[in-house]
Structures are given as C-alpha cells and as structure tokens.
C-alpha cells in the first residue's frame, strides 16, 4: 500500500523551454512509482520525459513570454481535464513565481503550500536575495547595484577583478538575445557594455565579489518546509563535477553531511516563513571558511532525487504527503549516496558506487527516457561538431540541452567546482 494518497494526482509545471530537464523526469518517477497519477505541463518536443511510463499525460505549456492570465488559463484547462484537486509542483523559477502570484486563483483546483505569494519571487530575485541575506545575517558575496556607467566603474574598483555580473531576474531574459544569467567580467568596459543592455534584459544588473572555486567549496541543500515550517526530507550535498567544467550544473553530486550548511538553510527558511520545496546553492570562501549563499531556488532542484532516504522519502514526495494531510515518515539518511547525469558525466555513471547511486536518466523500471535522451544527445553533439567544422548541413532542429540559467557563463562559473 502506498504511503501517498493516490487519489490525489500531481501536475508538474515547467515554463522554461528545456525538454531535457532531468529534474522533471525525477519528479514524474518519484510520484508515479508511488501510484500517483502524473501530468506534465512542459515542452514535449523530443522530450525524454514524455517517454516515461510514469507520465499519464503531457500537456502543452504556456507560450514563451506568456502573461499570468495565459499561464492561469493553461493550468485551469489541465485542472478541468483532471476534474479533481491535484498537487501542483513547479520545476523552474518562472513557474514557482507564477504559481506564487496566482495562489488564490489556483487554490480551488490545486493543493499548494501556504506562504506569502511574493516570497518565491523575492528569494529568486538576485538583488532581493542580497537584501534577505543581510537582514538574516546569512553570508552572501558583497553585491553592488550600479545606476549609471560611472557607478559601474566605481563598483569594479571597490570589488576588484574579476567580478561576477548577474541579472537580477534571469527568468526575464529574452530568448535569442545572447544574454546570460551570470557572467564573469574581467574589465570595466565589459561590465559597462552589459549595463547598457539593462532595458533589454528586463531587470537590474548586479556586480558581485567573486569567490574562487576549489576542492570541496561548492555545496547545495535541498529541503521541504512543511506546514509547520519544519525542514523535512532533503539534505546537504557536495558538487563533485560540474558541466561544463567550472561553469555549470551538477553533473556529479554526493550526499555529504554538513552541519553548517544545514543550520544556515534551516535558519533562513525559518526566519522567512518559507513553505514548500527549496534548493539552495552555497560556496565556501577559501579565505574565511564561511559558506556564502549564492542562489535560493524556490522549487525542486534537478538533482533532488539524490536525497531519497531509506524510506524513499524525497522533497517531492514530502510535499505530496504534507499537502494531502498524511504523515511524513522519516527514514534513515543515506550519506555517501551519489547522483550522476549520464550524458554530462558518462564515466562517472560507469564507476562503482559503494554508497548507492541515482542516475538522472536511466532506471531499470523505466528505461525508455534514457534511450530517447541518448538519441537526442547524439544528434545534438553531431550538429555542434558540424557547426565547429564549418560543414553545416540542413537538419531538423534539436531543442537546446542547456537551459539559459545553466549555460556556460556564471551562476555557474561562480558556484561550480572544478
């Protein structure tokens, strides 16, 4: 008998057009294996997620640049087809922010954590996060927000080179603009050029002190804050390999006990009154040894399945249990367990894993998504090679494998480990 209430379906929402998001597949498998009916609202063009046996139905997502009313219309249409309340699981920042804003309108059809509708947007905004950290005494890299080209030069002198440049609200960056959520700038001129594109970017430019990477410096914490505010499921993890190297998402991570990171995560979410799933990124300063918060993602991180305990509890299952009024049974933590994204770290996927391992794409009980992924990945690599060799051939377009926020340019250069 399932611990979860299988009478209550789940709707996974992802607005960002990245059909290769392995976190979406992880959420579908986590809930589907427990007997929950899973619906996915996301880009399905060539997506491995749609091949999963645990997905009941794929639904078209809102169009790029959709208004809140458009997003609400899509979710209401999906709810009408399901015809009973469902747990709604946002899987990117844009989705989490939209759901937070529309909580009251969605509440009749969807079960959602109870917290202020503006909180998800506040913590996802890089400028607001700096203020949040200052008010809660959580270490955060020194951050300056210039209002003019002259202030850009002054900020660069104060911070020293290189400097991390971030857009405050990266989910607003227009597709095809060439703008990246975060970049490492090495000159005043480079920073000024970015500043002059502020209107195009749709949010403020931040200049932030650079914390250099190094062994054991990059950490993350995944958790679920339940209706009482207690942090359940999840845990602290260490990024062992990033893709691209030194500049990207977690290709290999390990569940590693860290009392300092856990204490910071629990104190921060407690003081904010945060409820729901969250994913935090930290970097340890090589000089002071302090852990600095780099990002607060108000939704499940792509590698959340790393933190499945001995009872199989993870943050997505924890949310379903909590919102349906069922108890969250704590299993035994499994430190040493690893998570590997096979197409980014194929050799790591082949090595032995004494502490246990979760693969992003392959699962013995659900092998089809991995086959689809490898087919699409090979097409992607072949196309890139042809482009580099200058022998471009007309081929069917392949969806991007890397979301904008994880492109090889910083949140990412800044928080990646080598």
Counted residue by residue, the chain has a size of 418
Say what the pLDDT of residue 27 is.
98
Alpha carbon 252 to its chain centroid, in Å, reads 15
Inter-residue contact 418 to 241 (CB < 8 Å): no
Say what the pLDDT of residue 411 is.
40
DSSP output for 237-290? EEEEEEESTTSSEEEEEEE---HHHHHHHHHHHHHHT--EEEEEEEEE-TTT-P
Q: Where are the domains of the chain?
A: 10-117+214-369, 142-209
Say what the pLDDT of residue 192 is.
97
CA atoms of 231 and 269, how far apart (whole Å): 8
Other Cβ atoms closer than 10 A to 206: 23
Question: What is the second-level CATH architecture of the domain 10-117+214-369?
Answer: 2-Layer Sandwich (3.30)
Say what the pLDDT of residue 388 is.
84
φ and ψ at residue 295, rounded to 5 degrees = -145, 145
The residue to which tokens 């959602």 are assigned: 112
Burial annotation 379-388 (CB, 10 A radius, 16+ → b, else e): ebeebeeeee
Question: What is the second-level CATH architecture of the domain 142-209?
Answer: 2-Layer Sandwich (3.30)
Inter-residue contact 162 to 133 (CB < 8 Å): no
126-136 vs 259-272: helix crossing angle, rounded to 10: 100
Residue 49: CA atoms inside 13 Å, Cβ hemisphere, count? 30
CA atoms of 26 and 23, how far apart (whole Å): 5
Say what the pLDDT of residue 406 is.
37
Measure Cα distances from 224 to 142, 231, 259, 315, 317 in Å. Answer: 28, 5, 17, 5, 10
Enter the pTM of the model.
Answer: 0.91
Write out the chain's pLDDT in tens, 418 residues. Answer: 578 999 999 999 999 888 789 999 999 999 999 999 999 999 888 789 999 999 999 999 998 788 889 999 999 999 999 999 999 999 999 999 999 999 999 999 999 999 988 999 999 999 999 999 999 999 999 999 999 999 999 999 999 999 999 999 999 999 889 899 999 999 999 999 999 999 999 999 999 999 998 889 999 999 999 999 999 999 999 999 988 775 578 999 999 999 999 999 999 999 999 999 999 999 999 999 999 999 999 999 999 999 999 999 999 999 999 999 999 988 999 999 999 999 999 999 999 999 999 999 999 999 999 999 999 989 878 888 888 887 544 444 444 444 333 333 344 333 433 2
């Amino acid at each position: 008998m399932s611990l979860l209430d299988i009478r209550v379906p789940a709707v996974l929402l992802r607005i960002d057009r990245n059909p290769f998001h392995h976190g979406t597949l992880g959420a579908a498998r986590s809930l589907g294996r427990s007997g929950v009916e899973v619906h996915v609202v996301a880009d399905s063009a060539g997506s491995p997620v749609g091949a999963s046996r645990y997905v009941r139905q794929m639904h078209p997502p809102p169009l790029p640049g959709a208004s809140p009313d458009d997003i609400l219309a899509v979710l209401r249409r999906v709810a009408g087809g399901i015809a009973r309340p469902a747990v709604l699981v946002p899987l990117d920042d844009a989705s989490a922010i939209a759901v937070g804003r529309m909580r009251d309108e969605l509440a009749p059809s969807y079960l959602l954590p109870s917290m202020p509708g503006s909180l998800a947007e506040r913590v996802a905004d890089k400028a607001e996060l700096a203020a949040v950290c200052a008010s809660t005494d959580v270490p955060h890299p020194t951050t300056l927000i210039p209002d003019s080209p002259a202030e850009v030069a002054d900020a660069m002198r104060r911070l020293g080179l290189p400097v991390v440049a971030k857009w405050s609200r990266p989910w607003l960056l227009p597709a095809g603009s060439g703008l990246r959520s975060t970049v490492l700038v090495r000159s005043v001129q480079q920073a000024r050029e970015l500043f002059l594109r502020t209107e195009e970017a749709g949010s403020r430019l931040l200049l932030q002190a650079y914390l250099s990477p190094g062994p054991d410096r990059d950490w993350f914490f995944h958790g679920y804050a339940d209706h009482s505010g207690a942090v359940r499921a999840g845990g602290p993890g260490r990024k062992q390999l990033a893709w691209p190297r030194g500049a990207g998402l977690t290709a290999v991570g390990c569940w590693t006990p860290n009392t300092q990171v856990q204490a910071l995560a629990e104190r921060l979410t407690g003081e904010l009154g945060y409820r729901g799933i969250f994913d935090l990124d930290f970097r340890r300063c090589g000089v002071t040894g302090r852990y600095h918060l780099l990002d607060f993602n108000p939704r499940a991180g792509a590698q959340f399945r790393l933190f499945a305990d001995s009872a199989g509890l993870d943050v997505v299952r924890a949310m379903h249990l909590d919102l349906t009024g069922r108890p969250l049974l704590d299993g035994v933590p499994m430190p040493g367990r690893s998570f590997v994204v096979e197409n980014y770290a194929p050799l790591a996927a082949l090595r032995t894993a004494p502490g246990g391992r979760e693969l992003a794409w392959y699962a013995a009980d659900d092998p089809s998504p991995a086959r689809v992924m490898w087919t699409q990945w090979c097409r992607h690599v072949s196309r890139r090679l042809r482009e580099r060799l200058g022998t471009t051939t007309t081929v069917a377009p392949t969806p991007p494998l890397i979301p904008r926020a994880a492109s090889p340019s910083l949140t990412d250069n800044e928080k990646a480990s080598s």
